[in-house]
């Protein structure tokens, strides 16, 4: 039986890859809203709490795209936050 914190041998490419030295990323994308709002949603919905068993650093990434602008004028904003779990 698989337990949190163990590699799942049924899915050798399962995420997060516990053997990796890379941090875990939680990414939220938004259209026509700000990147800070995406970070707020990640925190309000407590998305990172299910990843705490990995013992790895967790980065929260909020990305906002200008959907309604014309091609060539579209831009995005990005906010990255180092997640520190509450104790």
Instruction: Flag whether 48 is in a domain.
Output: yes
- pLDDT (tens digit per residue) in 59-79: 999 999 888 888 888 888 999
Instruction: Flag whether 65 is in a domain.
Output: no
CA angle 7–14–58, rounded 5-degree value: 85
Domain enclosing residue 25, as ranges: 20-59
Distance CA 24, CA 60 (A): 9
Distance CA 16, CA 76 (A): 26
Instruction: Flag whether 49 is in a domain.
Output: yes
What predicted TM-score, i.e. pTM, was given to this entire model? 0.72
What's the pLDDT score for residue 6? 60
Instruction: Flag whether 75 is in a domain.
Output: no
What's the pLDDT score for residue 2? 53
How many domains does the chain contain in total? 1
- pLDDT (tens digit per residue) in 8-59: 555 455 566 667 788 889 999 998 899 999 999 999 998 888 876 677 889 9
Cβ atoms of 29 and 77 within 8 Å: the answer is no
Instruction: Flag whether 27 is in a domain.
Output: yes
Instruction: Flag whether 39 is in a domain.
Output: yes
Nearest to 63 by CA among 84, 40, 34, 43: 34
Instruction: Flag whether 44 is in a domain.
Output: yes
């Amino acid at each position: 039986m698989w337990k949190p914190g163990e590699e799942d041998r049924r899915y050798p490419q399962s995420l997060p890859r516990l053997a990796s030295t890379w941090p875990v990323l939680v990414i939220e994308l938004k259209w026509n809203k700000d990147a800070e709002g995406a970070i707020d949603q990640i925190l309000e919905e407590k998305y990172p709490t299910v990843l705490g068993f990995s013992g790895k650093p967790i980065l929260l990434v909020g990305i906002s795209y200008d959907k309604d602008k014309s091609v060539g004028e579209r831009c995005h904003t990005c906010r990255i936050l180092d997640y520190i779990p509450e104790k």
